[in-house]
Structure 1
Amino acid sequence: MRPRRFPLTALPVLLTALAVAGCSSQAAAPSDAGGTVQGVTDDTITIGTTLPLSGGAATSGKGFEAGLNAAVKEINDKGGVLGRQVKLVVLDDGFEAARSVANIRRLGDQEKVYAVVSPAGSANIPGSYPYLAQKGMPLFAPVLPPDPEQDSVFLLGTSQRDQARVIVDFLAGKDVKKVAVIGQDNELGHAIRDGVKEEAAAVGVEVVANETTEPNSTEVSSAVLKVREAKPDAIVLGTDNTQSALIMKAVGELGWKPTIMGTSSTVTTGSAGTVGPAGPAAKGIYGTFISELPTSDAPEAAAWRTAQQAVAPDQAGSAYALQAYANTKIFFEIVNRMGDDLSWASFQKTAESLKEHASGIYPPITFGPAAGGGHVGTTGAKVAEWDGSAWKLVSEDWLEPGKSAS
């Protein structure tokens, strides 16, 4: 397997995006006149990703990396994909938008990968949309950025916005009347704020405070104090793993006991990545999750646990690892269906033909044309509660946004 690679420099997001938008050196198709497909040889197919292996979201990044490696090893041990071994290139972006954008361009133009699979960074991925639109390279299952409705971008997992809507529905079902949001000043925080605002208006819940934190900062106390002054019944978190843990601790130190709830990204539902550092203050928090919990009895989850034990056993309880494993397996399920035509146009066509696909990890997956949200393959989320030692399932069924649950 190819070793991890790290960028030497990080460019400002705006300059990078302008450079990408102005670049016309890559054609929208990956094939030359002889039919060669970027990232594919007779013996190998190379994919890549960018992850926050350092910085405020490193816990999630390391989990995603472990899941990707587990899936690749399992696939290769079983003979590969269409007779080809899979190679994986992983770049660290430190949870910084500029580095994420630079990494995706590097993967496409220098590493020449076939596709970018399961990159993380809800707030960072959108900076690469102009480049991807121009190049045409598939971006598959990025971790919950907004849907650009682009032909080459396919999303798995309910969006941050819709998870926030499920959160409000769930809280309303528990007779919560007033909520506050603490969110970062980035796409992650904005999406969760928007979802809370939309659903609160629909179900009659009042948003009494909306405080902002800076990404990669450990300063959360002022936001917590301002929110407490508004006296909400519940706090919805739109912050990275590190900040979410710090907020829980700050709330606990005040002797204050509002309900706290976050998304699969903000409280790492199913993993100890956030609740572990928060310690006793995390007991009783709720989180949505968009793929089965690592402890699931589903055969596919059991297969992942076996695969994960062989690669990074310390991540065998990570929901992030399970999600990245599932993303990779689903991606190569599509590739396997493509047969001899591995062009990017064929990937899009084949992916869009996927209907009610049962992965065993996600809700049934259906893709269609990009316009109108057709490249968002799943909807709905489940809810779990941290009891101080483990995540306990609260909702057996996938909850759709716009439907109250208790």
Structure 2
Amino acid sequence: MKRSIGQPLTAVAVLLAVACGGGASSSSASNGGATGPGVTSDTIQIGTTNAQTGNVSGPATLTQAGAQAVFDKVNAGGGVYGRKIKDTVLDDGYTAPKAVANARTFIDQPVLAVFGGYGTVPSQSIVPILEQAKVPYLFPYQGNPYPGDKYVFLMMPLYRNQTAAVIKAAIEKYGKGTVYALVGKTADTPQTVQVAQQATAQAGGTWLGYDEVNQGTTDYTPYVLRMKQTHPDFVLVSTTPTDCARYVTAMVAQGALPAKRILGLQTLATESFINAVPPEASNAVFAPGPNAAPSNKLAADCVATVHKYSPGTQVTMETLWGCGTAQVFVYALQKTGAHLTRDGLLKTLEGMHQVDAAPVLTPVSFSASNHVGEATMYQFTSSGKQLVSGGTMPIANVAT
């Protein structure tokens, strides 16, 4: 099922505005119905806490630019039921304290929902606050699980599930071998490592060991030298894009590339990573990505939207992710209707099944028991500093 993003029911919005004369308060819709926090007769207020500065600001700002291009396009077409989407973006510098402060600002503002943002550190710090305030938190660029939280909706598959899928797919594609891993420290790291060990064994490989590191580590040489002693066929790298690039660059410097492939999650299937490491390393990458690449015809709508509404913005995997998730959000707003509330929005999301609201993403499904939208990712390698798509990769839920 696909809905037009560019012309979101503007005729209906005009009729509603004419019938009721506009001017409704923040507690009523333009047709007299009750609406939720952050919704007025002419505005849908949302908030984004994002790393506009700091260690991951490059990819983070691109995700936001992609999303804002969609919002600008929708607003130029009349908005959603006559309401323009206004996104207040506050910088968290990829730090927990700033993200928490931003979340409290959004709660007080108030916003209909907190949308997007980049990375695990801000996300895991604000989830408890938003849950307590019953504020929906939609589609951050991260894959840590938040079981039982009815207000958090993720788009990309969980890191642990990506981990199992990429290990199994790599061994199937490149043959059985040994696996070593470097993983960034998060709340879900123990489960992710357990899943990696299980997936390796199930695929017929041999698990050699792993290192767990703090995000922001600057000297990866000791970790590389320890890994090098094991002579792995595959090295799984799972942390921030900057940390992944530092580790992999140190691998090249120490002559420690794996015999077969460098494996990763969605952070490796990006131009920012590919361009940050030596060619011999980028050519060894095998990783899943949550959206199609800019050269894929499925990305054409988002590419055109970004070029028109955010001229000068580099169109990358992260930019397209922001565009795609914003399109799904707009679709949900449209489906929820003029009586826009937080509970109504959550109900709409949980009713989505195999929805093709954003061609650049794979089909999206949510339910009351599943708040992770994608169950398939694109499969990428790299050649000559260009991402090469090799079809799709199913991402199954893995029990731990």
TM-score, normalisation: structure 2: 0.85
- Secondary structure of 1:273's partner? helix
Residues 208 and 232 in structure 2, CA contact (< 8 A), matched pair in contact too: yes
Aligned to 2:376: 380
- Give yes or no for contact 2:45–2:87 (8 Å, CA) kept in 1: yes
Kept in 2, the 8 Å contact 1:242–1:274? The answer is: yes
Q: Structure 1: which 5+ residue stretches go unaligned?
A: 1-29
Matched, 1:145 2:144: yes
Greater mean deviation of Cα atoms: 307-316 or 377-386 = 307-316
- CA drift at 1:297: 0.7
Q: Residue deviations 1:267-292, cap 9 Å, x none?
A: 2x1x3211212132322212211221
Instruction: State the distance in 2 between where 1:60 and 1:149 align.
Output: 29
State the distance in 2 between where 1:31 and 1:148 align.
31
Distance change (3 Å), C-alpha of 1:89 and 1:363: same
Q: Distance in 2 between matches of 1:289 and 1:163?
A: 9
Q: Which of structures 1 and 2 has the bigger CA Rg?
A: 2
Percent of paired sites with the same residue: 24
Name which of 321, 324, 329 aligns with 1:323.
321
* Superposition pairs of residues 57-96 of structure 1, within 5 angstroms: 57-96=56-95
Q: 4+ runs of 1 displaced by more than 6 Å?
A: none
Separation (CA, whole Å) in 1 of partners of 2:201 and 2:346: 37
Determine the structure 1 residue equivalent to 2:112: 114
For 1:103 and 1:199, the matched residues in 2 are separated by 38
Per-residue deviation, 1:210: 0.7
Contact kept, 8 Å, 2:264 with 2:287, in 1: the verdict is: yes
Letter in 1 for 2:204: G
Equivalent of 2:342 in 314, 339, 344? 344
Do residues 38 (structure 1) and 52 (structure 2) align?
no
1:27 maps to: none
Residue in 2 that maps onto 1:5: none
Change in 2 beyond 3 A, CA 1:293/1:191: farther
What's the CA shift for 1:180?
0.8
How many residues in Structure 1 have an aligned counterpart in Structure 2? 363
Query: Is 2:392 the partner of 1:389?
Result: no
In the other structure, the counterpart of 1:196 is 196
Structure 2 vs 1, CA of residues 313 and 191 (structure 1 numbering), >3 Å: closer, same or farther? farther
1:208 Cα deviation from its structure 2 partner: 0.8
TM-score normalised according to structure 1 size = 0.83
Task: Report if the CA contact (8 A) 1:305-1:316 is conserved.
Answer: no
- Contact 1:124–1:187 under 8 Å retained in 2: no
Instruction: String of CA shifts for 1:282-336, please: whole Å, max 9, x gaps.
Output: 22212211221222112xx211111111344454431111111111111111111
Separation (CA, whole Å) in 1 of partners of 2:105 and 2:338: 27
More displaced 10-residue stretch of structure 1: 314-323 or 185-194? 185-194
Report SS of the residue matched to 2:223: helix
AA aligned opposite 1:107: F
Amino acid at match of 1:385: T
Equivalent position to 1:399, from 390, 394, 397: 394
Instruction: Please say if residues 188 and 238 of structure 1, whose CA atoms lie closer than 8 Å, have aligned partners that are also in contact.
Output: no
- Secondary structure of 1:278's partner? coil
**Paired letter, 1:63:** L
Opposite residue 381 of structure 1, the aligned amino acid is M
Q: Using the alignment, how far apart are the partners of 1:58 and 1:179 within structure 2?
A: 31
What is the CA–CA distance in structure 2 between the aligned matches of 1:349 and 1:327, rounded to whole Å? 18
The answer to whether the Cα contact below 8 Å between 2:275 and 2:385 also exists between their aligned partners in 1 is no
Residues 362-393 of structure 1, C-alpha deviations (whole Å, 9 max, x = no match): 22211111x3xx11122122211111221011
**Gaps (5+ residues) in structure 2?**
1-25
- The equivalent residue for 1:261 is 263
Q: How does 1:4-403 map to 2 (within 5 A)?
A: 35=34, 37-109=36-108, 111-143=109-141, 144-173=143-172, 174-187=174-187, 189-190=189-190, 192-258=192-258, 259-265=261-267, 267=268, 269=269, 271-280=270-279, 281-298=281-298, 301-358=299-356, 359-369=358-368, 371=369, 374-394=370-390, 396-401=391-396
- Root mean square deviation of aligned Cα: 2.2
